[in-house]
Amino acid sequence: MSGTLSEEVRRRRTFAIISHPDAGKTTLTEKLLLYGGAIHLAGSVKARRAARHATSDWMQMEQERGISVTSSVLQFEYLGKSINLLDTPGHQDFSEDTYRTLMAADSAVMLLDNRKGVEEQTRKLFEVCRLRKTPVFTFVNKCDRPGAPVLQLIDDVERELGMKCYPMMWPILDGDRFLGVYDRVDERVYLFERGEDHGSSRVETHEGALTDDHILAAIPERAISQLLEDLELLEMAGAEFSEEAFLAGEVSPVFFGSALTNFGLEPFLRRFLQLAPAPGPRQADTRMVEPEETSFTGFVFKIQANMDPKHRDRIAFVRVCSGRFEAGMQVKHIRSGKPIRLASPTQFMARERTLIEEAWPGDVIGIHDRGNLRIGDTLSADGDLEFGGIPRFSPEHFARIVIGDPMKRKQLDTGLQQLSEEGAAQVFYAESLTGPAPIVGAVGKLQFDVLLHRLEHEYNVRARLEHMSYTGARWVDGPIREIERLAHGHGRMLVYDAKQKPLVLFDSEWTMRTTVDREKDLVFYDVAP
C-alpha cells in the first residue's frame, strides 16, 4: 500500500556507499539487506563476490544474466522507511558510472577499513560528494579486529579530506575484542553478543546507561576507564554536531562497527534514518523542482548496455525527482522534445529484477531504451523544464584506438560518437576530428573492454587499443596561445573533446599538480566545464 506523495517522499532515503575496494562494501550491503529483511540469510552477495574475482570473463557474465552486475539499485524497508541503496561499482568495474551514480544519491556512507582509513578510491568518490555538497556519514568498519588508533583515524579523515568529523558513536574495545558502542547523543551503551553463526543473522544487543549495573558488569574495568578517558577527550575537543553543517556536507558523523559480525549496524542504521535527508528539491534550468510536486520529473544518470548482441536494448536508469511515477506513463523527453511511453520499468530488489507499477521521488527506475536516451536527459510529464546535466569526469586511462581496416573509419567515428554520447567512454582528438587515430579516455579500464566489444558487435568495427602512458587530464580554459605552449612541455599533451573543448593530458599526478600550480593564467577543471 502506498501513501500520499508527501508521505512517500518523507519516508525515502536514497544513498550510496563510497569506499575503496576491500573495505567491506559488499559485506555491508548484504547486511543492510539482512536487516532490511530483503534476504533472510546473509550470503547471497557472496556469489557475486566470487564472480567478481573471476571476472576475466566479464562479458560472459553480462551475456548470461542479460544485465550487468554493476547495475543494481537495491530497495528495502527498515523501520518504516523505504531505502534505496545505489550500488557504486568498484574493483575492476570502477568506471565513470561510479561517479555518476553519486549524482543520484541524497547522501553517502563513506566506509573505511579501520586499518587503512582514507584510501585512493575513497578520496576520488568523496570529491564527487563534495562537488554536490552531499551529506556524508562515516562508518569505520572491521572493528572486530584491531585497527589504527581511533583518534588517528578521525584525524586522517579530517586532514585527507578537509572535512570535519563528529564521532557520534565511540567504540568500546577490550584488547582485540569489540564489545559495543557508546552513543554520544542519547548517552547509551549498546553491547553486542558474539553469535555462533558468523554474522549470518542479526546480532543480539543489550543496551543501557553507562551507570547501569548490567552494563558495567559486562565491560572489563580497563575498557570502561579507557572509554571514559576517550569521551572526556572528545568533550574537551568541544566539537558540536550541527545538523545543518552535516546537510551541507561540512561535517560527517562517525560510526564504528563490523559488517562481518553485524556489530554496530543497528545503532548506525537508526541514526542514519534520522539524519539522512529525504529527497529534496532539485535545481532545473528555470526553477527549483520540489519532490512533492504532483507532476513527474526525473533524469537519466546511467545507461547500461545489454552486452548480448541479440538484445540491443539498453537500460536507462532514471532517478525520480518529483511526482508519482506510474507504469505506462507518457512523458516528454526534453532534449528531443518527443513524447515517450515508459512502458515496463524495472526496479531492483536484491539481485532480482521486478517490474514495477509505481515509483516515488528518490526511487530509481530502469527504462528499456533503444538508444534515444542519454546520460543527463530529463523526462518530464508536463515538459518544459530541464535538470542540469551530469558532468563528465576527467578520465584516468587513455588509449589510441586503432583499426586494421581504414575503410571502417566512418563506422568507427559513428560508433565512437554514439557511444561517447551515451557515456560509455570519452573521445578525444589530437588535431581535427578527421585526424589520426582518436584517443579514448575512461575512468576505469573496464570501460575500454566494453567499448571494444560494443564497437565490434554494434558497429561492426574491429579495433584495438594502444595504451598511452597518461594518467590524468584537466579541461583547460585561457588564452589559446598559452594552452598550446603548455602542450609542448614534457609529459603533457593537448587534445580536444567532441565539443572542441581543450584538455591537457598529464603523465603523472606530479606533472599535473605542478603544472596546475604554476600556470596562473589558465583555469583547470576536473569535470568538464
Query: Given candidates 179, 251, 259, 503, which one binds ligand GDP under the rule CB under 6 A?
Result: 259
* Residue (of 254, 221, 297) closest to 151 by Cα position: 254
Q: Classify residue 22 as left (phi > 0), alpha (psi -120 to 50) or beta.
A: left
Contact 438, 429 (CB under 8 A): yes
With binding defined as CB under 6 A, does residue 144 bind ligand GDP?
yes
Q: Any contact of residue 361 with ligand GDP (CB under 6 A)?
A: no
Residues annotated within the binding site are 19-26, 87-91, 141-144
Cα atoms found within 13 Å of the Cα of residue 318, Cβ hemisphere only? 32
Nearer to ligand GDP, 55 or 411 (CB): 55
Kindly state the smallest distance separating residue 433's Cβ from ligand GDP, in Å: 40
Do the strands 136-141 and 251-256 form a parallel or antiparallel pair, or are they unpaired? parallel
- What does 22-50 look like in DSSP terms, one character per residue? TSSHHHHHHHHHHHTTS-SSTTHHHHHHH
**Residue of the chain from 13, 100, 124, 142 that contacts ligand GDP (CB under 6 A):** 142
Handedness of CA 439, 377, 446, 449 (dihedral sign): negative
Extract the annotated binding site for GTP.
19-26, 87-91, 141-144
CA distance 286 to 502: 29
Closest distance of CB 181 from ligand GDP, Å? 14
Largest pairwise CA distance in the chain? 83
- For residues 143 and 251, which CB has a smaller minimum distance to ligand GDP in the complex? 143
* 49 interacts with ligand GDP by CB under 6 A: yes
By CB under 6 A, residue 258 contacts ligand GDP: yes
User: E strand or H helix at 359, and its extent?
Assistant: strand 358-359
Nearest distance in Å: CB 51, ligand GDP = 12
Task: Give dist(CA 76, CA 81) in Å, integer.
Answer: 8
Q: How far is the CB of 211 from ligand GDP (least distance, A)?
A: 30
Nearer to ligand GDP, 31 or 333 (CB): 31
Nearer to ligand GDP, 69 or 494 (CB): 69
Strand, coil or helix: 255: strand
x-marked contacts with ligand GDP along 17-36 as a string, rule CB under 6 A: --x-xxxxxxx---------
- Cell numbers for 320: 525520480
Does residue 496 come out as left (phi exceeding 0), alpha (psi in the -120 to 50 range) or beta?
beta
Applying CB under 6 A, the site for ligand GDP has a residue count of: 17
Site string for ligand GDP, 81-120 (x = CB under 6 A): ---------x------------------------------
Is 141 a binding residue for ligand GDP by CB under 6 A? The answer is yes
Q: What are the residues binding ligand GDP (CB under 6 A)? A: 19, 21-27, 49, 90, 141-142, 144-145, 258-260
